[in-house]
Amino acid sequence: MLKIQNISFSYSKELTINEGTFSLEKGKNLAIIGESGCGKSTLLKLIYGLHDLKDGHIFWNDIEILGPKFNLIPGMDFMKYLAQDFDLMPFITVAENVGKYLSNIYPEQKQARILELLDIVEMNEFANIKVKYLSGGQMQRVAIARVLALEPEVLLLDEPFSHIDNFRKNTLRRKLFSYLKQQQITTLIATHDSTDILSFADEVLVIKNGEVIDEGSPLKIYQNPKNKYVASLFGDVNELVVNGVLNFVYSHQLEIVPDSDLKVEILNSYFRGSHYLIECNYKGELLFFENNEAIRKGNILYLKIK
């Protein structure tokens, strides 16, 4: 089990991570979410041992993870960390990058392992191409394959799909997270994309200004957000008071009805492919709901929560 106990860290006077505490069982996938600059990437670096903690402790099973003050080479052998800069070698091939840390004693097994990993990230056809000729998205896929090569016990992924085209991203997510589950690799993923969270994470950690403000299963966090900040990480959300109680209502949870107390004026319709996101005015505040068709600007409609 991974245990993070009351950790704090700062680059300067202000704390970047403040008294973070959580745990994760072996083989589970934890998604760390929050706005840019909230401390997601720093948290992964601390868990990997790239910085020294100000306070607190981090353990993997009975092994305490320590920073550069205690290790000549920062990082832990049983972990792999995929940063946003990839850290690939540009003048050797894709296959050579992926197999760089694999043993040469059994070349046939090494080659089979490289091809297996390239298949997961759909880069087989580029095996003999030098990395310097790849696009950013292709480099990111190679970097993912390389961190998987030695089958780490713990895998830390920092925005692992940020450079990858949407049409390929969905397939890659399914193949990668399925592989991680099969291999029982404990995974922490820092992300801003709710698709990484809802479909694949076992647990979610929400961070704001370096503090953990919510945690639980994706279903729990999504259905019962503590505040608008948490809810907004999953899409367009409205604040509505119903019977004196403040509710956070996602755009898909509103529908048009003949009459209600929720009277709105249409401002804009945004095409989203499967539906339109409708922007409207409700008592001087912006409100969003979804509809199958665009609605003319200026129309007056009534809504209710489904």
**Which residues is 233 bridged to in the sheet?**
none
Classified as helix, coil or strand, 229 is: helix
Task: Decide: 107 and 130 in contact? Cβ < 8 Å.
Answer: no
Q: What is the C-alpha radius of gyration for the chain, rounded to an integer number of angstroms?
A: 23
C-alpha dist (Å) from residue 139 to 37, 88, 208: 24, 8, 30
Q: Which of 10-14, 43-47, 118-122, 203-207 has the lowest mean pLDDT?
A: 10-14
What tens digit of pLDDT does each residue of 130-147 get?
Answer: 999 999 999 999 999 999
Task: Decide: 203 and 27 in contact? Cβ < 8 Å.
Answer: no
Say yes or no to pLDDT of 74 above 80: no
How far apart CA 24 and CA 3 sit, in angstroms, is: 7
Task: Decide: 177 and 19 in contact? Cβ < 8 Å.
Answer: no
Q: Provide the token pair at 298.
A: 């200026």
What tens digit of pLDDT does each residue of 13-60 get?
Answer: 788 898 889 999 999 999 999 988 888 999 999 999 999 999 999 999
How far apart CA 252 and CA 242 sit, in angstroms, is: 17
Over pLDDT 90: what percentage of the chain?
Answer: 71
Residue ranges and CATH numbers for the domains of the chain are 2-226 (3.40.50.300), 236-305 (2.40.50.140)
Say yes or no to pLDDT of 72 above 80: no
Non-local (6+) Cβ contacts of 80 within 8 A are 147, 148, 150, 152, 154, 155, 156
Task: Decide: 142 and 98 in contact? Cβ < 8 Å.
Answer: yes
Q: Which pLDDT does position 156 carry in this prediction?
A: 95
Alpha helices, H only, the chain: 40-48, 94-98, 107-120, 136-148, 166-182, 194-198, 218-223, 228-232
pTM above the 0.75 mark?
yes
How far apart CA 73 and CA 213 sit, in angstroms, is: 33
User: Residue 12: which pLDDT band, with cuts at 50, 70 and 90?
Assistant: confident
How far apart CA 113 and CA 85 sit, in angstroms, is: 24
Angle, helices 107-120 vs 166-182, to 10°: value is 130
Give the torsion sign (CA, 175, 177, 183, 185): positive
How far apart CA 212 and CA 195 sit, in angstroms, is: 21
